[in-house]
Amino acid sequence: MTTASSTGLSRRALLGAFAATTLTAAPTYSKAAGLLRGAGDIRRIAMFSGRTGEMIDMIYWIEGKYITDALKEVNHFMRDWRVDRGIDIDTRTIDIMAASHTLLDVGEPYTLLSGYRSPETNAMLRARSRGVAKNSLHMKGQAADLRLKHRSVSQVAKAASACHAGGVGRYSGSNFTHMDCGPVRSWGG
């Protein structure tokens, strides 16, 4: 009989390997005062970027701890592609995105339209659109603009709002939902 200790694998490594090959759904969340607390042993995030052609689908939290290497990948994925710069994305935002995705019960990844924005990019976008905030939480790595092909903006926004954990913006005309870890609020239609 082979044991984890005889093969040099820790329980954490075995769980990580299992989690990486198994689709696991966390339970439904009614209130997010403890967003994703007690959500089981893993948390997963899946996104696609049409801007860069990149995709991630990974476990970023296991057994009560964030996985540093996974968060580095999320940070890189959510970088400002226009200037190829990123920062640490606030884990609360990642958790809101993951919880909303779970509530939506879909297998498809989010399409990420905007994660981190450099001040230069934010100023450029602000000059083009009145819908871009001067002090956008995107510049702090605390916001994401997301889309799902098989769920409406309204459905995605309702799931994010159910988390009671941050701001939710509906941009139906542009077909995306904004999620952030700032104060609880909502806007748009």
Q: How confident is the model at residue 12 (pLDDT cuts 50, 70, 90)?
A: very low
Number of Cα atoms under 13 Å in the Cβ half of residue 48: 10
What is the distance between the alpha carbons of residues 59 and 23, in angstroms, rounded to a whole number? 10
Per-residue pLDDT at 18 exceeds 90:
no
Whether the pLDDT of residue 28 is over 50: the answer is: no
pLDDT tier for residue 6 given thresholds of 50, 70 and 90: very low
pLDDT for position 87? 97
Average pLDDT over residues 52-57: 96
CATH number listed for the domain at residues 8-188? 3.30.1380.10
Tens of pLDDT, residue by residue over 64-119, are 899 999 999 999 999 999 999 999 999 999 999 999 999 999 999 999 999 999 99
CA–CA dist 77, 174 (Å, integer): 22
Reduced to 3 states (helix: H, G, I; strand: E, B; else coil), residue 56 is strand
Which pLDDT score, from 0 to 100, does residue 189 have? 79
> So where are the chain's domains?
8-188
C-alpha torsion sign, points 26, 31, 36, 38:
negative
Instruction: End-to-end CA distance of the chain: give it in Å, rounded.
Output: 60
Backbone angles phi, psi at 31, to 5 degrees: -130, 145
- What is the mean predicted confidence (pLDDT) over 30-40? 47
Residue 94 vs residues 58, 71, 81, 145, 166: alpha-carbon distances, Å: 12, 9, 18, 12, 12
- Residue 8, C-beta contacts closer than 8 angstroms, at least 6 positions apart: none
- The whole-number pLDDT of residue 4 equals 42
Pair of tokens at residue 54? 């990149």
pLDDT of residue 36: 52
Q: Distance between CA 134 and CA 183 in Å, rounded?
A: 17
Whole-number pLDDT of residue 37: 53
- Look at the block and give the residue holding tokens 């290497």: 69
Residues 160-186 have a mean pLDDT of: 96
Indicate the pLDDT class of residue 17, thresholds 50, 70 and 90: very low
**What is residue 40's predicted lDDT score, i.e. its pLDDT?**
63
pTM, entire model: 0.79
Give 3-state DSSP helix, strand, coil % of the chain, rounded to 5. 35, 25, 40
